[in-house]
Chain A
Amino acid sequence: MQGTDFTIAEGLRALDRREISAVELTEAHLAGIAALNPRLNAYITVAAESAMEAARASDARRAKGEGAALDGIPLGIKDLFCTEGLRTTAGSKILGNFVPPYESTVSAQLKRDGAVFLGKLNLDEFAMGSSNTTSAFGPVENPWSRANDPEKRLVPGGSSGGSAAAVAARIAMGATATDTGGSIRQPAAFCGIAGIKPTYGRCSRWGIVAFASSLDQAGPVARSVEDCAILLRSMAGFDPKDSTSANLPVPDFAAACTRSVRGLRIGVPAEYTLPGLAPEIDALWQQGLAWLRDAGAEIVPISLPHTKYALPTYYVVAPAEASSNLARYDGVRYGLRVTERESDLRDLYERTRAAGFGAEVKRRIMIGTYVLSAGYYDAYYLKAQKVRALIRRDFEQAWEKVDAIVTPATPSAAFPMDEKQDDPVTMYLNDVFTVTANLAGLPGLAVPAGLDAQGLPLGLQVIGRPFDEETVFAVGAAIERAATFTAKPQVMA
């Protein structure tokens, strides 16, 4: 087995048994990056030297018997997490050559647990997108391709496209990502890997470039449900520096992966059967439910009546919060500054922001600014937050009847990079199954469950009660066991 074949769980065992060293693991992944990143463009910044240094330190610790939970595991870090001393871009030109003087809480905890950082992973600019085609550093290519059209480059999904592609192509053993409307789950599904957005408040947002504060959550992507559980254990936890951080103990998520699902009630929301849902997706969904039934779970039809309003609700709330969160990118204290000889302060702002932000970010800032502007707050933002409360209530009522909800993760498999996108709304529809969990603050996991007719991965989604990631992991792992998804992408280290 070569260094890039291990899952995290397998890697930790191999490290502990001295079958491989941290240095060898890191070297293998750095070699993979050197070979494949020019094509995939999953990494914006590769930190080879510091990764090797960290790997050596990890081996030294292990030799002394001092290894921590993730010691020696090479990970990629989505370039939305501020990493101290390592350039952070948020996939945008506007941060210029910003080198953070601080480390995000989530990445600091991974470091504390001994993980090795390979580099910063590409993403849609400011996490706004579902295709990783809006990055200022170029698009990311999905390591999977269609059987009948292998030259056609496909998107990995977004916004955490770099994270998902890197893990799928085995040039990272796992990666951090963030999810605001589906940005962990949708790319995980498009790349045939697992990913979880935990409950809002489970992971700290401190040091993560903010997009939409009431929706953003950090989470892991990895090649197995168990790996996600291992990573989430290190990433999660109360942070007094984040006023929305939940003051709750972090359970042993990995242990939950082996829990039986016998007797669990699995909800199937009627409203997720969209008109025109691709038959393959529907078939996989039914297959997933059958697997769970076979494992002893009870399948319960439920209704989440306000589902169809979730996407428009999201596209009021998220841009509104983003328009405010992105006001700080003004060319004054860090990042890009664009001026002319005769610039005044206002001109500095306008030129810097026009030059620094891409088209999708500008669109969302404009929408957000508009819906908050005088006279429109009640009709848009306030209205959307009320609808959001109704969406949350739908789930609260469902939890009286079921313990977890299973739906498709995406309405399609990965689509081509050059598919024309004249209408932003079409792109937004990619998140139709995932946004509800963000709006309601619930944990949501994507697990690869099958392949479409073109051999592209399709995923299922498991949604759970607030702070009940354990049940989500149990159901996800059960699907994973039954699915026996062993297909591999065409591009792989």
Chain B
Amino acid sequence: MSLDAATVRRVANLARLRLDDAEVPKLQAEINGILGWIEQLQAVDTEGVEPMAGGSPNPVALPWRADAVTDGGQAEAVLRNAPDREGEYFGVPKVVE
């Protein structure tokens, strides 16, 4: 599977990574190299194999938590690291829908 420049740009878009024109060819070559190497997975017969769910070596089920308010009430801590804090809110460039 080989990516063309347009696809590289589309993927960068999806990932919200700004790419200069100059960067595209190198990135394209590197990614294609990696993808070419990954291609060998297609040779593996995985008919009827259940994909591994997450990383646990033994199957586990989702643990449940009781419904209680145990968190929040910490607006200061939540906002403290904000690059643009507007009072009690996070500020971002205005979004028009």
Q: A101-B77, A313-B41, A333-B90 are in contact. Are A386 and B51 (CB under 8 A)?
A: yes
Q: Which of A376, A389, A466 contacts B51 (CB 8 A)?
A: A389
Q: What residues on A are CB-neighbors of B16 within 8 Å?
A: 327, 330, 346, 349-350, 353
CB distance from A95 to the nearest CB of B (A): 9
Number of A residues, CB within 8 Å of B: 75
Q: A335-B83, A339-B93, A348-B93 are in contact. Are A383 and B46 (CB under 8 A)?
A: yes
B31, B51, B57, B82: the one within 8 Å of A442 (CB) = B57
Q: Please, how many residues of chain B have a CB less than 8 angstroms from a CB on the other chain?
A: 52
- Looking at the assembled complex, report how far the CB atom of A270 sits from the nearest CB atom of chain B, in whole angstroms: 18
Q: Are A244 and B57 touching (Cβ within 8 A)?
A: no
Contact residues of B: prevailing secondary structure = loop
Query: Is A334's CB under 8 angstroms from B34's CB?
Result: no
B34 touches A363 (CB 8 A): yes
Render A436-470 as a binary contact track against B, CB cut-off 8 A, 1 for contact.
00101110000000000000000000000010000
A350 to B11, CA, bound (A): 12
Q: Are B83 and A332 in contact (CB under 8 A)?
A: yes
A196 within 8 A of partner (CB): no
Determine whether B25 belongs to the interface, using a CB cutoff of 8 Å to chain A: no
Partner of A386, one of B15, B35, B46: B46
Known: A306-B44, A348-B93. Is A334-B57 also a contact (CB below 8 A)? no
* Minimum distance in angstroms from A320 CB to a CB of chain B: 11
Q: Is the CB of B27 within 8 A of A363?
A: yes
In the docked arrangement, what's the CA distance between A312 and B35, Å? 9
Closest to A395 in B: B57
9 cross-chain pairs, A with B, having the tightest CB-CB distances, nearest first: A214-B55, A441-B57, A385-B51, A334-B81, A337-B83, A350-B18, A386-B46, A466-B57, A354-B18
16 extra interface residue pairs, beta carbon distance < 8 Å, beyond A199-B57, A309-B44, A441-B55: A99-B81, A200-B57, A240-B65, A243-B63, A246-B56, A312-B38, A316-B38, A333-B78, A333-B90, A337-B84, A354-B19, A366-B17, A373-B11, A383-B46, A386-B49, A390-B46
Binding site for A on B (CB under 8 A): 1, 3, 7-8, 11-12, 14-19, 27, 30-31, 33-35, 37-38, 40-42, 44, 46, 49-58, 60, 62-63, 65, 74, 77-78, 80-84, 90, 92-95
